[in-house]
Amino acid sequence: MKLGDPRLFRQYAYIGGKWTSGDEGREEAVVNPANGEVIGHIPLLESRQISACVDAAEDAFANWRALRADERAERLLAWYDLIQQHREDLATIMTLEQGKPLPDSRGEVEYGASFVRWFAEEGKRTYGETIPSHIPNAALGTIKEPVGIALLVTPWNFPLAMITRKAAAALAAGCPVIVKPAHETPFSALALAELAERAGIPAGIFNVVLGESAPLSRQLCDDDRIKAVSFTGSTRVGRILIEQCAHTVKRMSMELGGNAPFIVGPDMDPREAALAAVAAKFQTAGQDCLAANRILVHESIHDEFVAHFAERMAALTVGDGMESEVDLGPLIHRRAVEGALSIVDDAVSRGATLVAGDQSDAPGENFFMPVLLTGVTSQMKVWREENFAPVAGITAYRDDDEVIAMANDTEYGLAAYIYTHDIRRIWKLMRALDFGMVSVNSVKMTGPPVPFGGVKQSGLGREGGAMGIDEYLSTKYYCLGAM
Ligand code: NAD
């Protein structure tokens, strides 16, 4: 791997400020999904090393929480500057391990860094409140305190931003963090650790553990010294973590799967709406919790919309993310390609029309050519499951009440898109959609100032915004009686 600063490429875990190999020498290879080449190896830590990591975080906690908020902010801003300075190297590492096109990786570094700056500032505003007293001569109020050590379990689709969105909030609140990155994309996490060390974030405050996910997470969920778990990933694994944390009653934040509807009103220009829908569906090759999976188009413009969608989709280039002019990189592994194929087969066998998507054009075994299906129905997997692949399904609807019922017909409730200029329709749909985030006439909706999160089985809690730091703070109520 050619980097401007080779020390950003670390093949060790990072525990208590030390770069650490596995005690038993066990390792795992990490491969580039575009070509199957081994990028590097990571250690698999033993259980006693995981315990040692919690010890280190526990030891470091007292000093970190005792710092003033502006002192913590200085370290976070130094971290932010370093991430920005090393943007190119971080983007290279990300594309090699995740596969996304290099410009998208640069965008993710920028996006991920922006949370560090946001929470550096937000940490200075964790105000308590005064409460008008109902007790004679007493003063009542609240103060906010860090919850304690936070375990952050993160996915491979956004290997850097899903860490900073959690870690910056936790660190600003005064909590140490233990990051468990996805084993497909550990090197982005380790590069962040290297930069955190250089930024003066003390040993034991930012840790990265590596190992077999299930036993490692179980051990950390069982550990009473871990007070919060923040997870981004599938609903399936989210449920496991919630169960595992039940007996130690931890603070939980769950950013789980999505199955976003993309609703196009009859008043829309079909071309304009189709371009937006393509952008909302194929970002990160469809491996995005905000991907527009169920595209619901008013019957009066359906056919025109489909024609424009197919034309724009045909112009997307699939290839190795390190090459220029690539729109879609590979899927994360072969299993993901097989999953996407089975979703397409299921839809076609149940009556959907395959408008485009010839897999014989795929440039390698982990690549998947974008697919457009029309006539998708709620019986099909492409509707029921989060497809996490470049498979777009379009359906026509008759009226607002029908489209509301269709959009809400899912166990997920993360994000929804509405495209219309009719203000009454916007308001009606926005209120009726059972989703944590609704974006009207905009593909872009996320960023540091906004509360990101879902309802139903898309999760618990919010990341970003003023609410994001609350996930790592507990409220202490005080009553000062008259002496
Ligand atoms: P995943 O659930 O398979 O894995 C997420 C993390 O959990 C990884 O670190 C993985 O190693 C770990 N893990 C896997 N099995 C585990 C187990 N048995 N016990 C403990 N940890 C375990 O998800 P993924 O495939 O990495 O990511 C894709 C999913 O993430 C999609 O469902 C997507 O919607 C979701 N996602 C959600 C958001 C959001 O903000 N809501 C953002 C990005 C991704």
* Ligand 1 center–CA 154 separation, angstroms: 6
Which pLDDT belongs to residue 179?
98
Q: Is 153 touching ligand 1 by the criterion CB < 6 Å? A: yes
Residue 151 in contact with ligand 1 by CB distance below 6 A: no
Query: Is the CB of 256 inside a 6 Å radius of any atom of ligand 1?
Result: yes
Task: Determine the topology of domain 6-256+458-476 in CATH.
Answer: Aldehyde Dehydrogenase; Chain A, domain 1 (3.40.605)
Two tokens, residue 309: 């969608």
Say whether 407 sits in a helix, a strand or coil: helix
* pLDDT at site 482: 82
**Does the CB atom of residue 240 touch ligand 1 within 6 A?**
yes
Nearest to 67 by CA among 199, 168, 171: 171
Please spell the DSSP secondary structure of 139-184, one letter per residue: EEEEEEEE--EEEEE--SSSTTHHHHHHHHHHHHHT--EEEE--TT
Residue owning the nearest CA to atom 39 of ligand 1: 255
Torsion sign (Cα): 102, 161, 107, 81: negative
**d(C-alpha 425, C-alpha 419), whole Å:** 10
In this structure, the residue with its CA closest to atom 14 of ligand 1 is: 213
> Which pLDDT belongs to residue 1?
84
**Residue 304 CB partners (closer than 8 Å, separation 6+):** 270, 271
**Residue 225 in 3-state DSSP?**
coil
- Between CA 428 and CA 436 the distance in angstroms is 16
Q: Which residues are the active-site residues?
A: 255
DSSP string, 256-287: ----EEEEE-TTS-HHHHHHHHHHHHHGGGG-
Query: Is the pTM here over 0.90, yes or no?
Result: yes
Whether 155 lines ligand 1, by a CB cut-off of 6 Å, is: yes
Decide the pairing of beta strands 226-232 and 149-153.
Answer: parallel
> How far, in Å, are 9, 275, 444, 446 from residue 421 at the CA level?
48, 16, 17, 21
**pLDDT attached to residue 264:** 98
Which residues are 397's β-sheet partners? 298
Give CA angle at 177 (55, 145), nearest 5°.
95
Q: How far apart are CA 100 and CA 112, in angstroms?
A: 15
Q: Mind listing the pLDDT tens digit of every residue in the chain (483 residues)?
A: 899 999 999 999 999 999 999 999 999 999 999 999 999 999 999 999 999 999 999 999 999 999 999 999 999 999 999 999 999 999 999 999 999 999 999 999 999 999 999 999 999 999 999 999 999 999 999 999 999 999 999 999 999 999 999 999 999 999 999 999 999 999 999 999 999 999 999 999 999 999 999 999 999 999 999 999 999 999 999 999 999 999 999 999 999 999 999 999 999 999 999 999 999 999 999 999 999 999 999 999 999 999 999 999 999 999 999 999 999 999 999 999 999 999 999 999 999 999 999 999 999 999 999 999 999 999 999 999 999 999 999 999 999 999 999 999 999 999 999 999 999 999 999 999 999 999 999 999 999 999 999 999 999 999 999 999 999 999 999 999 986
CATH hierarchy code of domain 260-440 = 3.40.309.10
Would you state the pLDDT for residue 22?
Answer: 97
Cα torsion at 87, 280, 183, 106 (round to 10°)?
-10
Rg (Cα) of the chain, in Å, rounded? 23
436's tokens? 């944590």
Domains 6-256+458-476 and 260-440 share a fold: no
> Could you tell me the residue ranges of all domains in the chain?
6-256+458-476, 260-440
Residue among 48, 64, 58, 46 nearest 225 (CA): 58
What distance in angstroms lies between residue 159's CA and the mean position of ligand 1's atoms?
11
β-partners of residue 460 are: 254
Retrieve residue 74's tokens: 């200085």
* Alpha-carbon span 43 to 56, nearest angstrom: 19
